[in-house]
Amino acid sequence: MTGEPGQVLYGEHVIAFSVVRRDRKTLEIAVEPDTSVVVAAPHDVSLEVIAERVRKRAAWVRRQQGYFIQFMPRTPERSFVAGETHLYLGRQYRLKVVPHVQANVKLIRGFIVVQSHKPRRPAVTRELVADWYRERASIKFRERLEVSLARFPDPEAFRPKGLIVRQLEQRWGSMSPSSRLLLNRRLIQAPTDAIDYVITHELCHIEEPHHGAAFFDLLGKVMPDWQRRKERLERVMA
């Protein structure tokens, strides 16, 4: 956990949280998929005030943590050896590594086929697959962005000023104050409808920066089944 640490007592439970100071006017409490609690807070708000806000939201925090706990343990670290399964767009593919003078990765009938000049080197295979995921993510995310924008009555009003794909430790995505969309590269492994949920969720932040009632009202209007999609995302990617 990074940031300024704090904790509150809720019944018999201790809720630990981390405070990240930002140039903002309001507090926002988020529970991450690893069950950690992160509070985005203005620079001039005291830790005591933040702790009291977390205490008031303790029941919600515990419910969110319980939701994520059901999907643990998370998928173990991949070894990148032949026969191992890997996800792409929500489907499991078996890894096949073949010797070849030219490095390449492609999908062939249920396999992620990795052509490698060092087929017995898992580290080389890992990098080739990572490069392939990055390439596919860049293409697929832009495609799904256009599909997601079409859900809004005025799509251009919700078009982000940029799209960044990066490996993230916790979040699936975020929208910066300057309307730049950041997506977790690992999201390319999720089902298409789950990718659309993350993108649509973040696009809603262009109009509604915080997770208040107005935000969820907008999300519900443009994607009525967002909760089902969110649950599938966490289940498949657990």
pLDDT digits 0-9 by tens, 98-131: 999 889 999 998 899 999 989 889 999 999 999 9
Distance between CA 94 and CA 106 in Å, rounded?
Answer: 12
Point out which residues pair with 183 in neighbouring strands: 165, 173
Q: How many CB atoms lie within 10 A of CB 111?
A: 15
pLDDT digits 0-9 by tens, 15-25: 989 999 999 98
Mean pLDDT of 151-176: 91
Q: Is the pLDDT of residue 1 over 80?
A: no
Domains of the chain in sequence order: 4-69 (no CATH), 85-132 (no CATH), 141-236 (3.30.2010.10)
Structure-block tokens of residue 75: 């998928």
- Spell out where the chain has E strands: 4-10, 13-22, 28-31, 37-42, 85-88, 91-99, 104-108, 111-116, 162-166, 173-175, 180-184
pLDDT digits 0-9 by tens, 158-167: 999 999 999 8
Q: How confident is the model at residue 71 (pLDDT cuts 50, 70, 90)?
A: low
pLDDT digits 0-9 by tens, 48-68: 999 999 999 999 999 888 877
Alpha carbon 151 to chain centroid, angstroms: 20
Q: How confident is the model at residue 155 (pLDDT cuts 50, 70, 90)?
A: very high
Q: Is the pLDDT of residue 74 over 70?
A: no
pLDDT at position 101: 85
Mean pLDDT of 191-206: 95
Q: What is the DSSP letter of 189?
A: G
pLDDT at position 205: 94
Q: How confident is the model at residue 34 (pLDDT cuts 50, 70, 90)?
A: confident
Q: Is the pLDDT of residue 3 over 50?
A: yes
Distance between CA 48 and CA 6 in Å, rounded?
Answer: 9
pLDDT at position 75: 58
